[in-house]
Amino acid sequence: MTRTIVASATREIIIGFDQPFCVIGERINPTGRKKLAAEMVAGNFETVIKDALEQVAAGATMLDINAGVTAVDPNATEPALLVQTLEIVQGLVDVPLSIDSSVTAAIEAGLKVAKGRPLVNSVTGEEEKLEAILPLIKKYDVPVVAISNDETGISMDPDVRFAVAKKIVERAMDHGIKPEDVVVDPLVMPIGALGDAGRQVFALLRRLREELKVNTTCGLSNISFGLPHRHGINAGFIPMVIGAGMTSAIMNPCRPQEMEAVRAANVLTGTDQNCGNWIMTYRDHKPAEAGAAPAATSAPGASSGRRGGRAARAGAGAKTE
């Protein structure tokens, strides 16, 4: 059974088909969050600290850390800011971290200070990226997210995306990196723009599990981009992708509806043994009263989803704050 091991200084987590779904908290990401970006540039990490603590308290298994505050000379600015952010977060929480950057120098700077065994987010099928990132993965003995696009962009053909994923896994093996240390992102498309986006990703996930035998992840909220009441779509999507074989996702754990779907899927797939986590979480749960007003929904195009790092490299839309 494929098992991807990630760790902080004190906690080890296994991502795998026989493990509870791994929730990678997305909130520490300034892309599309103007207020957070301005704070980080000014050396103010109040929101970073708040987001780190809230996500772990809500049930995040890991935290994604992105410091891409500007497109102006990121090679000069991003490494130091990413290091500072990583050090602050790993001093606050004990969950493993995901180092999220498109800047190779920032990834290596982060790997030098990250404790335990972080996940690197990410590498694509582009030759330049493969040759820059895979040697770092081997050198530091860490797992990496492999995004299924290359120099030609994102294909709408799921067979092409599978071929790109296979290429990355094979190139990783050439570098001495085991397949279990490659976590493939098959690229979730917005269902509002591509009507068969759901069916595409379900089929891709089954192939990735059965043929490549790799763990998988995605930017979960991409599926609902542009639609109203996005969290309802996201919550419905979660158990379906888990059933198809997805083992982790970059998502907002502070959305109760979505986390409830994750926990329910863990119960139904048998990875929450004896329903222990479900019982601990919901034993005092009181259902909403009949006739209660529904929660406010997101406006079309609004997003709680990650938009920087790997999402930007995959061409996802951005939100504003």
Q: Over the stretch 157-191, which tens digit does the pLDDT of each residue have?
A: 999 999 999 999 999 999 999 999 999 999 999 99
The pLDDT, as a whole number, for residue 189 is 96
**Chain-wide mean pLDDT for the chain?**
91
d(CA 238, CA 280): 21
**C-alpha distances out from residue 232 to 72, 159, 172, 199, 225, Å:** 37, 29, 37, 18, 12
DSSP string, 277-310: HHHHHHTT--PPPTTPPPPPPPPTT---S--STH
The pLDDT, as a whole number, for residue 287 is 79
Does the pLDDT value for residue 209 go beyond 50? Answer: yes
Q: Rounded mean pLDDT of 219-230?
A: 97
* Helices first, then strands: H and E counts in the chain: 11, 10
**Residues 99/121, Cβ–Cβ less than 8 Å:** yes
Q: Over the stretch 228-261, which tens digit does the pLDDT of each residue have?
A: 999 999 999 999 999 999 999 999 999 999 999 9
The pLDDT, as a whole number, for residue 1 is 81
Q: Over the stretch 108-131, which tens digit does the pLDDT of each residue have?
A: 999 999 999 999 999 999 999 999
The pLDDT, as a whole number, for residue 285 is 87
Residue with token string 């979505």 = 258
Q: Rounded mean pLDDT of 43-61?
A: 98
pTM given for the model: 0.90
The pLDDT, as a whole number, for residue 297 is 38
d(CA 106, CA 85): 12
Sign, Cα dihedral of 187, 133, 126, 160: negative
**Residues 208/216, Cβ–Cβ less than 8 Å:** yes
